[in-house]
């Protein structure tokens, strides 16, 4: 914006150049890539000198960078100001060229700008906030009305805002992050709920998104603990900064979780240092054969075993930092003569 203002002051000010700048500015608010294309075409027609050519190249690079980023990072899609800035940079560079400012193109852009301004006015004049949001979506201008609609604190409108702009956090947090995730929210920082939201994302199979969310926060406490846990579970290098998840060992963790039907028991814990051994105690009730379970510890290969009565399963050494232990039971059987089930008793880590 400073570039536009500066060039607007330094450039000659025939009405056609001023009109062109205004037209491009309004057009860019709703159709930044169209504004960029028109400005670049006008610049090409004006045959700019070396200095202006450099500015045109910079404006184009900003636009291309944003386009590339939007393909890899969901957050980049909602950066509203970058494409308009690219368009206006090119437009301002063109307008600063002494031989630019062709009247026909200026009039065309003024007409386009007036059309967009009319659409924005049509959206603003909507009788209800719901209709205003619908109209704003049609012209891709929700960002201009976002704050006003958010301030109404209407759950239905908040849900609609989340759907319309999924990569902003304000409406999602006002609505409730659980509901917002079900509506397609793509959290950026989730202030005050970052670890909770990251856990929900990981549980939904969106672990990469969860890790990126936490990486936008200072790596301390719970944030560090859960990031370290995701690193270990994913088989990556663990960069642990003493953050804790679950109970702290060495010691004994009494779980006493019964798996009476097919299901899973999960235990998260943190080793304060390198430990020589961990032992998991299971107890099985047999019926037409002993129950079988699969035990997962972090990213290690799973262990499968039959649990006939009380069984102590050695887990081997434990590295410092957070760990996740999962006991999966998929072998349930029940009948008139009995019931097959498993009880996860305790973990002892020394």
The predicted structure's pLDDT at residue 4: 43
Count of beta carbons in the 10 Å neighbourhood of residue 111? 12
Instruction: Say which residue the tokens 């549980």 belong to.
Output: 203
The predicted structure's pLDDT at residue 282: 97
* Length of the chain as a residue count: 350
d(CA 284, CA 306): 8
d(CA 183, CA 166): 8
The predicted structure's pLDDT at residue 123: 85
Mean pLDDT of successive 10-residue segments in the chain (350 residues)? 42 49 55 59 57 57 58 45 48 49 50 65 90 87 89 95 95 97 96 97 95 96 98 96 97 95 96 96 94 97 95 96 97 90 96
Element (H, E) at 64: helix 50-72
Give exposure, 310-346, as e/b (b: 16+ Cβ within 10 Å): ebebebeebeebbbbbbbbbebbeeeeeeebbbbbbe
Count of beta carbons in the 10 Å neighbourhood of residue 206? 17
Q: Which two tokens stand for residue 345?
A: 């008793």
Q: How many angstroms from the chain centroid is the CA of residue 128?
A: 30
Three-class secondary structure assignment of 273-304: CCEEEEEEEEEEECCCCCCEEEEEECCCCCEE
The predicted structure's pLDDT at residue 337: 83
């Amino acid at each position: 914006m400073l570039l536009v203002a500066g060039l607007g002051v330094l450039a000659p000010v025939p009405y056609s150049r001023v009109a062109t700048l205004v037209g491009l500015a309004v057009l860019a608010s709703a159709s930044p890539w169209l504004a960029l294309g028109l400005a670049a075409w006008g610049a090409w027609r004006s045959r700019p000198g070396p200095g202006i050519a450099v500015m045109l190249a910079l404006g184009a690079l900003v636009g291309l960078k944003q386009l590339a980023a939007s393909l890899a990072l969901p957050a980049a899609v909602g950066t509203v100001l970058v494409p308009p800035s690219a368009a206006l940079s090119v437009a301002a560079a063109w307008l600063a060229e002494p031989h630019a400012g062709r009247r026909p193109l200026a009039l065309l852009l003024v007409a386009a700008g007036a059309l967009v301004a009319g659409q924005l006015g049509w959206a603003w004049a909507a009788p209800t906030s719901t209709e205003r949001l619908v109209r704003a979506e049609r012209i891709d201008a929700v960002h201009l009305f976002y704050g006003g609609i958010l301030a109404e604190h209407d759950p239905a409108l908040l849900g609609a805002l989340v759907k319309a702009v999924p990569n902003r956090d304000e409406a999602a947090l006002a609505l409730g992050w659980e509901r917002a995730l079900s509506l397609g929210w793509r959290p950026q920082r989730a202030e005050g709920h970052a670890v909770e939201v990251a856990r929900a994302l990981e549980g939904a199979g969106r672990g990469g998104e969860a890790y990126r969310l936490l990486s936008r926060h200072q790596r301390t406490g719970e944030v560090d603990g859960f990031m370290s846990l995701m690193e270990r579970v994913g088989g990556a290098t663990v960069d642990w900064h003493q953050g804790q998840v679950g109970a702290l060992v060495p010691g004994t963790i009494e779980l006493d979780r019964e798996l009476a039907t097919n299901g899973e028991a999960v235990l998260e814990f943190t080793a304060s240092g390198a430990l020589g051994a961990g032992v998991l105690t299971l107890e099985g009730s047999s019926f037409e054969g002993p129950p079988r379970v699969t035990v997962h510890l972090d990213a290690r290969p799973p262990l499968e075993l039959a649990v006939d009565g009380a069984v102590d399963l050695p887990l081997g050494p434990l590295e410092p930092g957070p760990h996740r232990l999962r006991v999966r039971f998929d072998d349930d059987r029940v009948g008139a003569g009995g019931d097959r089930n498993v009880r996860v008793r305790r973990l002892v880590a020394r």
